[in-house]
A and B are shown apart, each in its own frame.
Chain A
Amino acid sequence: MLIVLARRLANIVPTVVAVMALVFLLFSVLPGSFISGMNEDGRSTIDPAVMERMRKEMGLDDPLPERFAKYMINVATGDLGTSFRTREPVTKLIGVRVWPSLKLVFAAMLFAISVGVTLGFLAALRPGSLIDTAAMVGAISGLSLSQFWFGLMLMYLFALTLGWLPSFGYGDGGLRNLILPAVALGVGPMALLARTTRAAVLDVLNADFVRTARSKGMSERRVVEWHVLRNALVLVVTIVGLQFGSLMGQAVVVEKLFAWPGVGSLLVDSVFQRDMPAVQGCILMIVLFFLFINTLVDLAYVAIDPRIRYR
C-alpha cells in the first residue's frame, strides 16, 4: 500500500511540472501578451509609462526560462503569484473557491454513482428486459446531453416554473442550491457509469468462476453478492476514477451557468480578464485534483484486488 502510494506521488511531481510548463509556455510565447491584452480589451487606455512599470513589476521582461523557474520555485513554496486584476494572492483567490468546487464535484459524483451504478446493475441482471432497454436508452441520451443545456432546462423547470429550488447562486451553501448544478454536472458520468457497470456485470456473469459458483448450488442472489459484485467493482472503479478526476475541470460550464463560486467559474472569469497567474493557479488546482483522485483510485485497486500487490 505504502509503496504504491509513494510511487504514485513520485509520478505526480513531473506531471505537475510539465503541465505548468505547458500552460506557462502557451500563455507566454503565443500572441496576446497579458499587458497588451489588457490594453486591447481596455475600456481604460493605459499610459505607456504605466505599462512599462507594470511589465517590470510583474517581471514580464525577464527571459522565459528564468521566469518559469522563478514561478515554479514560488509554486513549490505555496505562492501562486498575485492576481493581475484584484492584486490579491492567487492562493487566497482560489482558496475561497475550493470548498464550493469540491462540494459540487462530490455531490455530482454521488449522484452519478448512486444512480448510474444502480441502473447499470439492474440492467445487467435482466438483459433485454424493459428496465434494461429503458436504462440503456436513458444512458445513451445522458451521454448525448449538453451539460449546460440540461442545466438550463432543469433551471427552467424546477426553479422558474415549479419554484421548488433556487435557480442559481451559492446561497447559504446549503443543499437546495447544490441540487440542480450537481445533477446537471453528474448526468454525463451517470450515463457512462450505467453503461460501464452493465458491461462489467455482464462480463463477470459470463466468467467461469460464476459457473463454478452456480455449480455449488448457490442462489442467483448469493452468486451476485458473493462473487459478481466485487469483480465488477474493479472495472467500475476505473471509470469512476477517470470521471471523478476530470469533473472539476468539466464543471466550468455548469459553474458559469449556475453562478456557482467554484474554481471553474474563476478560471473562465480569469481567462476573460487575461489574469494569467489566476488562470495558471486554477489549472494547477484542477490538475492536482485529477492526480489526487487517481492516486485514490490506485489505492482502491490495491484494496479490492489482491493480485495487484504482487505485480
Chain B
Amino acid sequence: MQLKGGSSLWIGGGLVAAAILVAIFAPWIALTDPVMAANLMNAEIPPDWEYPFGTDAQGRDIYSRIVYGARVSLTVGIASQICNSLIGVTLGLTAGYWGGWWDDVVSGLTNLMLAIPSLVFALAIMAILGPGLLSLVVALGLTSWSFSCRIARAQVLSLKSQGYIQAARILGYSDLRIMFTQVLPNILGPLIVIATLGMGGAILAEAALSFLGLGIRPPFPSWGSMLSEARDQIRTVPWLSVFPGLAIFFTVLGLNLLGDGLRDILDPQSTTRRT
C-alpha cells in the first residue's frame, strides 16, 4: 500500500532481523563491556576508528552501549506485545462470543483505555511499580490492547452472523474450542500486523519512559536512558544524543515497514489500518 508491498516488507524485515541479531549476539558484537568499561581518560571522545560512535562522559563506548541497549528495546517490545495480544484477544473473543453484560464491561474498558492516552497510563503504572525492565513490560503490556480486542470482537460477531459458530455449537464444540479453533485462526493475520506495529510503539514508549527517568535507570544501557543522560550534554557532546536516537529510529522504522508489508499479505482488507 504505502511504498510497494514487497520492498517495504524486505527493507523492514531486514532492519528488524538486524536488530534482533544485534540483540542476541551483543556480547560478541560489542567492543567493550557496556557498563563496566568506564575510563575517565577516554571521556567524550568524538566518533573515530576506535570508538565508532564516540564515548560518553565516563569514557564508555557508545557503540557497545547501543548494542546492549537493543536487548532492552526488543525485550520490552516483544514481551509487552505478547501481553497486549493475549489480553486483547481474550477480552475480545469472550466479549463477542458471550455478549450480554460482559460485552458491556469489555467495551466500557476499551473506551476507558482509549480516553487515557496510553503513555499517561503507562507513566502512572511505572510510578507505582518503580523503574525496571519488568515494570516496563507490565506498564506497556497493560495499556494498548484495545486494538486487538476490537478486532477479535468484530471477527466473532461477523462469524456469528455467518452461522459458523452456530454450526460448531451444534456439532457439540465447547465454547473455548470454538473460540480457539474457529475464530482465532481468522484473526491471526491482523493480530500479527497489530503486534508488529505495536512493537514499534512500545519501543518508542520505553524510550520515552526511560528518558523521563521512569524506565531503565542508568548506568544500565537502554536507548532511552542513554538519551536521558545525553540531553544535558547536547551542546558539548552531541554524538551522545545522535546515535541512540538513530538506533531507535531504524528499529521502529523497520517494524513499521514490516507491519505495512505484512498487512498487504495478511490483511488485504486492511482492518488494521491505523486509526
Residues of A at the B interface (CB closer than 8 Å) are 15, 18-19, 22-23, 26-27, 30-32, 133, 136-137, 139-141, 143-150, 152-153, 155-156, 160, 192, 195-196, 198-199, 238-239, 242, 246, 248-250, 252-253, 256-257, 267-268, 271-272, 274, 279, 283, 286-287, 290-291
Within 8 Å by CB of B125, from A15, A26, A274, A286, lies A26
Residues of B within 8 A of A279 (CB): 124, 127
Bound-state CA distance A196–B275 (Å) is 8
Where chain A touches its partner, the secondary structure class is: helix
Alpha-carbon distance A267/B121, docked complex (angstroms): 11
Question: What CA separation (Å) do A268 and B256 show in the bound complex?
Answer: 28
CA of A145 to CA of B256, assembled, Å: 11
Query: Are A249 and B120 in contact (CB-based, < 8 A)?
Result: yes
Cα A147 to Cα B252 in complex, Å, equals 12
B124 and A23 within 8 A (CB): yes
Judge whether B119 and A250 touch: CB under 8 Å. Answer: yes
B positions within 8 Å CB-CB of A: 1-3, 8, 108, 111-112, 115-117, 119-120, 123-125, 127-130, 200, 204, 207-208, 211-214, 227, 230-231, 234-235, 238, 241-242, 244-245, 248-250, 252-253, 255-257, 260, 273-275
A187 to chain B, nearest CB (A): 12
- Asked, given contacts A19-B112, A23-B124, A238-B275, whether A249 binds B212 with beta carbons under 8 Å apart, the answer is no
Question: A136-B3, A139-B2, A140-B260 are known contacts. Are A19 and B115 too (CB-CB below 8 A)?
Answer: yes
The answer to whether A149 and B227 touch across the interface, beta carbons within 8 angstroms, is yes
Say whether A256 contacts B2, CB under 8 Å. Answer: no
Q: Which 6 A-B pairs have the closest CB atoms?
A: A249-B117, A149-B245, A144-B253, A144-B252, A249-B120, A246-B117
Chain B residues whose C-beta falls within 8 Å of the C-beta of A257 in the assembled complex:
211, 231
Q: B167 CB to closest chain A CB, in angstroms?
A: 32
- Beta-carbon nearest neighbor of B129 in chain A: A30
Residue of A nearest to B244 (CB): A149
Q: List 29 A-B contacts (CB under 8 A).
A: A15-B112, A19-B112, A26-B124, A26-B125, A27-B124, A137-B3, A140-B2, A140-B3, A140-B260, A143-B252, A144-B249, A145-B252, A146-B204, A146-B245, A149-B245, A152-B234, A153-B242, A156-B238, A195-B2, A199-B273, A238-B275, A239-B275, A256-B211, A268-B212, A271-B123, A283-B120, A286-B120, A290-B115, A290-B116
